[in-house]
Structure 1
Amino acid sequence: TPRLDEDLAALGLAGLADGVVNSARVGAAKPDPRIYRFAADQARVSPGRCLFVDDRPENVEAARRLGMTGLLYREPADLRRALGPLLDPAPTADPL
């Protein structure tokens, strides 16, 4: 959507990501490989360092074909399982 930045700001979500890839600005949409490559380039990482989450199998498969880790989202538990190890704080050592 051309108004994606404004929509994210209105929802209070604008500051939660380092970057946003808007297909209306890129000129390509999922499952076109260009949109995935653009996202990886914007993040300055190789596709192999990317996690792509989507609720459509064809979009997840397109990301996987480029070397991204793809997660098919069906319910919140899917996302928790995938992201949990990344989001849980590191255990702290008990003081002596």
Structure 2
Amino acid sequence: MKNNKKILGIVMGNTVQSRHIGSDIGAALKNVAGGELKGYSKMLKTSRDEAMQRMVEEAEKLDADAIVNMRFTTSQTMADAADILAYGTAVKFI
């Protein structure tokens, strides 16, 4: 098979989000009753979307045609904040 792509490099996008006091109160109540922590789920989805959009913008600056092997990672940056990182390899089809 012919190699028809050029690897442009790693592209990344990240965001750091802190928890909202309302989400913490709701989470404390859910710990007693059980169930999905919808405030946190919504925050994580928003954070992933934002990190992914920033990664795509970085790839567009390189004039990439695609991002392959895309991944997410997260880490706690401080007691009430988390970093969401989206990363992958930008490629150009030739």
Higher strand share: 2
Higher relative contact order (CA 8 A, sep 6+): 2
- Structure 1 and Structure 2 fold alike (TM over 0.5): no
TM-score in terms of structure 1 length: 0.22
More helix per residue:
1
Q: Which has the larger radius of gyration?
A: 2
